[in-house]
Amino acid sequence: MAQSIVVSGLVSKRAELVGRLEHYAQEVDRLDAELRHLDATIKLFAPEMDLRTLPPKRFVETNRIFRQGESNRCMLEVLREAGGKLNTQQIAQRIAKKKNLDEAKVKAVRDTILDTLRRAEKKGVVRQSGKEGMALLWQLV
């Protein structure tokens, strides 16, 4: 019976991945059609332009973990509760735990919190207080 539970889980995961692939294939088709229309419009206004020489703009996926201003509030709350120094990873892990996020999201939380900490440092709200290995230590001012 244990094998059927394992197989059932694997089949479910496979179905999820196939669904995601189909979704993204449709998105690729939509973007491709949009790009062809845009290229045709550009050619109307600038027929001499070689569109192949235009470099693509880097795509950065936004994370939807925090609402506007929430990362700052969470970061300040964690530092207040700690009452001392914490490194960026510790802050991110505590926030992820409070928000009931899985381990896979901790890196995205850490990246967002690092940006938040740097902005707060410029405003004089927090300051770097050394390093712990490669990790920066932070504390409230």
- pLDDT means per 10 residues in the chain (141 residues)? 82 94 96 97 96 90 85 97 95 95 89 95 96 92 94
The full length of the chain comes to: 141
Residue 130 is inside which H or E element, if any? strand 126-132
Cβ atoms of 35 and 28 within 8 Å: the answer is no
- What tokens does 118 get? 């740097």
Residue-level pLDDT at 53: 95
Residue-level pLDDT at 95: 97
Distance CA 45, CA 132 (A): 57
Longest dimension (CA), the chain: 67
- Through-space distance between the first and last CA atoms of the chain, rounded to whole angstroms: 58
How many CB atoms lie under 10 A from the CB of residue 39?
A: 13
Please report how many Cα atoms fall inside a 13 Å half-sphere around the Cα of residue 33, on the Cβ side.
Answer: 5
